Structure 1
Amino acid sequence: MTITAAADGSALGNPGPAGWAWYVNDGCWRAGGWPHGTNNQGELMAVLDLFRSTKHLAAEDLHILCDSQYVINSVTKWMPGWKRKGWRKSDGKPVLNVELLKEIDRELSGRKYTFEWVRGHAGHELNEAADDRARAAATAYQQGVAARQGPGFGAAAEDPAPAGQTAHPAAQAAPDRSGQQELFGEPDLFSEPDLFSELADDVAASQGTDSSPEAIVEALERELLLPETRADMGRTGVLLHPDFTEIGSSGRIWTRDAIMMALEGNPDRPIELELLAADRVSEGTVLLTYRSYARSGTALRSSLWVLDGAQWRLRFHQGTPED
């Protein structure tokens, strides 16, 4: 069986507000972006997230439709040589977008995949669908509104394929999530494939079972305020839920991808936390409210943590500057 998906990126201004997306069918796609990035970064991120999102289907062949010769050549031709040279080009200059390329290189291990170049904006159904979603994500960041992230692979089993397409094999192979909990009546918040699931298993074991949920969540919140944690994309990827959203103290809406990349590049100084309350909303949900102290002043903050399997993860955060 072969998974066929289109991957595409978009940047308004290049660089500028940027988006990425991969698309299998209307019930199986995913998108994201950043406030500032390039088209190539969007193209690479779409491919990276496609590999991560299909990790549970690693035995399947992955056929990637891509309109970027840069991405195809980087992954299939140039990357082995760059690695041998310490991620430098033949002229000795550093490879651009090296962190994204390193992540893709890690995801390739054990996978069966092929790339096919398709001409962009030429009416190819899957490519056009991915392009539309990547551009919509970039536009959302330009306008300061939340970007649609898509159902990922989790919802593919319930959605019919578009006219003219057969049902995707991923729909039959997707794990049964019918027994997972709902949060505030929203079905299946945890169906999105996590980008750092292997790390999450290790962290879940380290959290232990002796502490109360409130104590565990408070400790994790304090850890997220440390510069060394914020600069570690692997660790923030474990602590932030795949559907994480933040309404920042500036009024900006952040997605998980955007906040992880922003924190890695600028982790800032330690932030002090004065806990106001830790309320267990439900068995698998804890709401923290606290006052933060930073160089820029104080803010009142709330964080909603949810239990995802055995791992507590931050689902939503909001900050309001204090007068």
Structure 2
Amino acid sequence: MKQIEIYTDGACSGNPGPGGWGAVLRYNGVEKEISGGAADTTNNRMELSGVIEALRMLKEPCEVILSSDSKYVCDAITKGWAKSWKRNNWRKADKKPALNSDLWEVLLSLLEQHRVTVKWIKGHAGHPENERCDRLAVAAIEKFK
């Protein structure tokens, strides 16, 4: 299996408001940057979108180290929350609806195709790839203002 490093970040100008996401993919010393956004969205939707779009770039099952500064994304994956929400018809433990179920549905499907290790990294703390992803995400917002 190919070993891929993926770094992602999402940003929003207002929450909700125009948003952007950025990702850096690294394989065998080669890097690719991708980004996108939406006119009316939330920060969490952009965090999820960055991960989804990065995983969509992979053409075959890979071993992935996914680094994100989003506790929402990291915890929902590593602690099994997202799978539990899906099992419970997109309801959380408190019976309230799980937000962003449309994106979680896509992400859970993509995660099944790869062997993914999720790493939380502190945002805005000088981590080079996280800072790059943040710049990509913020630049993508400008297209929607």
The residue matched to 1:120 in structure 2 has which SS?
Answer: coil
Q: Measure how far apart 1:3 and its partner are.
A: 0.9
In the alignment, does 2:20 pair up with 1:19?
A: yes
8 Å CA contact retained: 1:9, 1:40: yes
Look up the match of 1:40. Answer: 44
Q: How far apart, CA to CA, are the structure 2 residues paired with 1:21 and 1:137?
A: 8
Work out which of the residue numbers 74, 80, 104 in structure 1 matches 2:76: 74
2:124 is paired with a residue whose SS is coil
Separation in structure 2 between the aligned mates of residue 32 and residue 85 of structure 1, nearest angstrom: 31
Aligned residue number for residue 118 of structure 1: 121
Match of 2:92 in 1: 89
Partner SS for 2:19: strand
State the Cα distance separating 1:14 from its structure 2 match.
1.4
- Tell me which of the two structures has the higher relative contact order, counting C-alpha pairs closer than 8 angstroms and 6 or more residues apart: 2
In structure 2, the residue matched to 1:207 is none
Compute the displacement of 1:93 (Å). Answer: 1.2
The 8 Å contact of residues 12 and 139 in structure 1, kept in 2 or not, is answered as no
CA RMSD of aligned residues (A): 1.5
Q: How does 1:130-279 map to 2 (within 5 A)?
A: 130-142=133-145
Q: CA deviation at 1:87?
A: 1.1
- For residue 183 of structure 1, what is the aligned residue in structure 2? none
| Secondary structure, counterpart of 1:95 in structure 2 | coil
Residues 18 and 39, structure 2, Cα contact 8 Å, conserved in 1: yes
Quick one: distance in 2 between partners of 1:112 and 1:119? Answer: 23
- Aligned partner (choices 94, 104, 108) of residue 105 of structure 1: 108
User: TM-score scaled by structure 1?
Assistant: 0.42
Tell me, yes or no, if the aligned pair for 1:21 and 1:46 is still in contact at 8 Å: yes
* Larger-gyration structure (1/2): 1
Gaps of 5+ in 1: 143-323
* Sequence identity percentage: 37
Which one-letter code corresponds to 1:36 in the other structure? D
- Distance of 1:114 and 1:133 partners within structure 2: 23
Structure 2: state its 5+ residue gaps. none
Q: CA offset at residue 27 of structure 1?
A: 4.8
- Give the whole-Å Cα distance in 1 for the aligned partners of 2:113 and 2:16: 34
Q: Residue type of the partner of 1:10?
A: A
Residue 141 of structure 1: CA displacement? 1.1
CA contact (8 A) 2:83 2:108 kept: no
> Does the aligned pair in 2 maintain the 1:5–1:126 contact within 8 Å?
no
Shift of 1:139: 2.0
1:49 counterpart (28, 53, 57): 53
Deviation at 1:67, TM superposition (A): 0.3
Deviations 1:193-246 (A, max 9, x none): xxxxxxxxxxxxxxxxxxxxxxxxxxxxxxxxxxxxxxxxxxxxxxxxxxxxxx
Task: Render the CA deviation track for 1:6-42: whole Å, top value 9, x for unaligned.
Answer: 1110000111110011113685011100111111100
